[in-house]
Structure 1
Amino acid sequence: MSKLEQIIVIEPPYDLKFKGPFTDVVTTNLKLKNPSDRKVCFKVKTTAPRRYCVRPNSGMIESGATVTVSVMLQPFDYDPNEKSKHKFMVQTIFAPSTATDMDAVWKDATPDDFMDSKLRCVFELPTDNDKMDDVDATKAAPVLNSNADGTSAPKPISTSVDDSEMKKLMDECKRLQYDVGKLSDENRQLKDEGLRMRKAHRSDNIVSSSGATMSKQHSSSSLPSLLVVIAAIFIGFFLGKFVL
């Protein structure tokens, strides 16, 4: 018995393209459409399961419905000279209309019931045109004043906030300059007061020294006078004794 032809429509049908740079997670969508009148179960498999994250990696597609599968390539060191050998396979089977347990559907299926589609992975680096488009989009973004749904976009923050902050800084600088000037004046007054006190203390020392000198002179001058008086008394005493 020949193998069944794939019933679902896969987009893209052959290549899964991942556009770098690959320093971050790169996501590519895979659309699965069921054009038949029966339910279809699917599984997405890869030859490099550690390099990719697939959500959802399995499920059931109702008749006429479409499922979008996100394939996320993990960051890695890209070598342009190395060709990608990674492949994906989308495997499907018809499911009974009353089926609710997919595990049971896959378990009961035979190899002849499987329908397979293979896709290869293609890695691409961004071109110069892509870079220019990103730059143009970045420049145009601030110009927009409304969103696609008609709501107002957030307005850029006014520079008045910066002006007010600058004014506060200027006022603070002026206040600090005033405080510095005031402290300088107080320091100058303290220095002048200290000079006056030192001069006054020096004058007091000079006056004290002068008074002490005069006292000594007076004492020294009065001492001979006292000796003369005492000598006169003794002389008068002796003279009176001998005369009598």
Structure 2
Amino acid sequence: MAETEQVLKLTPDGELRFRGPFTDVVTADLKLSNPSEKRVCFKVKTTAPKRYCVRPNSGIIEPNQSVSVAVMLQPFDYDPEEKNKHKFMVQTMFAPDGPIESQEQLWKEATAEKLMGSKLKCVFEMPADSGSQAPVSKVKESEDKPTSSKPVKQVQLETAPPTYASIDDSETGKKDDDVQRLQTEVKRLNEENAKLKESEVRLRKVAISETVSSSPTSSAPAPAQQAIPNLPPIVYLIIAFILGLIIGKFIF
């Protein structure tokens, strides 16, 4: 099945050049232009996701609009003898009509017939004054090595196609780890908060009980009134008779 032709225009097209020295982050700019009348979803992939940082690494380009992508190569020890095999792929597809709730889910459900792709190889360049020449020992070794008179049979090895990984996959993993750590921290704080609330309630109960026990109770018995002595009836009669005589004297 023939591959669907890429709808986007890439600038540069074919390769990304990174100019050293590589002791710091080196950035290559990539421009993605959408000349069509439809929205286009894009995703940037690479064969070396740990060596690069891409902003933005995915998104949607509106009709007749463009997006600038910064491809940042992380610092590393440059070896001119090492053959660079890093490659990038800009994968695209037409966006569906209407709002898009999840681009991640949209890419998961996309079929191969809808996908378009453009590949770019990475080229590392060193300044002219860096003296990036092959070591003399290796050159000398190759010159002094005797050549065999026997014909050498050339065997062409089958190389497997490069494997491209989404840069946002590794970043999503980091985000998931951060979210998991935050969720664990929130759970721990909630548990500590619950324990503090329990301690506060317990202390309040203790304080209330101590206050009640130390304050005088309102149900304490009132002082007993002076009891009236119980006297025999004859005594009451005598007192009444005497009071009657006294009153009679005043009247008469």
TM-score, normalization by structure 2: 0.49
Task: Kindly indicate whether residue 40 of structure 2 is the aligned counterpart of residue 45 of structure 1.
Answer: no
Count how many residue pairs are aligned between Structure 1 and Structure 2.
128
How far apart in 2 are the matches of 1:107 and 1:72? 26
How far apart in 2 are the matches of 1:18 and 1:111? 31
- 2:32 alignment counterpart: 32
**1:101-154 deviations in whole A, cap 9, x for unaligned?**
3223223321111001110000000125xxxxxxxxxxxxxxxxxxxxxxxxxx
- 1:109 alignment counterpart: 110
Identity %: 62
Q: How does 1:69-108 map to 2 (within 5 A)?
A: 69-101=69-101, 102-108=103-109
Task: Kindly indicate whether residue 127 of structure 2 is the aligned counterpart of residue 126 of structure 1.
Answer: yes
Task: Kindly indicate whether residue 4 of structure 2 is the aligned counterpart of residue 10 of structure 1.
Answer: no
5+ unaligned residues in a row in structure 1: which ranges? 129-244
5+ unaligned residues in a row in structure 2: which ranges? 130-252
Q: How does 1:133-144 map to 2 (within 5 A)?
A: none
Retained in 2: the 8 A contact 1:99–1:105? no
How far apart in 1 are the matches of 2:95 and 2:105? 10
Larger of the two Rg values belongs to structure = 1
- Which one has more relative contact order, counting CA pairs under 8 Å at least 6 apart? 2
Task: Kindly indicate whether residue 58 of structure 2 is the aligned counterpart of residue 61 of structure 1.
Answer: no
Alpha-carbon shift at residue 98 of structure 1 (Å): 1.3
How far apart in 2 are the matches of 1:112 and 1:119? 21
TM-score, normalization by structure 1: 0.51
Report the 3-state secondary structure (helix = DSSP H, G, I; strand = E; otherwise coil) of the residue aligned with 1:60.
Answer: strand
**1:199-223 deviations in whole A, cap 9, x for unaligned?**
xxxxxxxxxxxxxxxxxxxxxxxxx
How far apart in 2 are the matches of 1:20 and 1:3? 35
How far apart in 1 are the matches of 2:118 and 2:66? 16
Alpha-carbon shift at residue 4 of structure 1 (Å): 1.0
* AA of the residue aligned to 1:2: A
